[in-house]
Amino acid sequence: MNLAAAGTSFLIILPAELPDKTVLACIVMGSRYRPLYVFAGAAAAFTVHVALAVAAGGLIGLLPHRPVQAFAGVLFLAGAALLWRQHGQGDDEDAADHGRRTRFLPVAGMAFAVVFALEFGDLTQILTVSLTARYGDPLAVGIGATLALWVAAGGAILGGRSLLKVIPMIWLTRGAVLVMLALAGVSIATAVA
């Protein structure tokens, strides 16, 4: 397993996920329902999304190296643009409270459904495909991406509001955009060389 691929995946996916609508949904669900139940559902949904993304990235990785690097570079550029654009849009999602559910299955099922729907085709899923294609190690990228998404969800559920008081969202967004632009440059340079 390529530890550099796992670490890079973690470091790219985590800041890309923090300003996402899914994190805001986790904050809302975590403040209304049992945090552990919400995390179980969210973590399961993130795991399914990462599995889909690394499978797609693994298939792309079977193609010739230069076109794959160029494609990964373009995806990183697109991801940076999407993240920057997404930051400019406000997320005013407010989930209706249908009573305080306390049983595991209804809460975890709701969290799974919300996260699964919000993350489908999302920036972090696209980045995971790109990272898998770039590194050619689906297991390492999958572990790094999954852990990053779990950390983002867990942090949002347990203390998301406190984090935003310490680190402004704009700095998290800018950091993620800079990292993606750097990876785009490296991928494109590798494709051209």
List, for residues 67-94, the tens digit of each pLDDT value. 767 776 776 677 667 656 655 554 443 3
The residue-averaged pLDDT of 4-11 equals 92
Distance (Å, rounded) from C-alpha 152 to C-alpha 43?
10
pLDDT one-digit tens code per residue, 93-116: 333 344 445 789 888 988 888 888
- For residue 39, is pLDDT > 90? yes
* Comparison of pLDDT for 133 and 80, the residue scoring more: 133
Q: What mean pLDDT value characterizes the chain?
A: 78
pLDDT one-digit tens code per residue, 165-192: 676 767 766 765 776 687 778 778 877 8
Cβ neighbour number for residue 94 with a 10 Å cutoff = 7
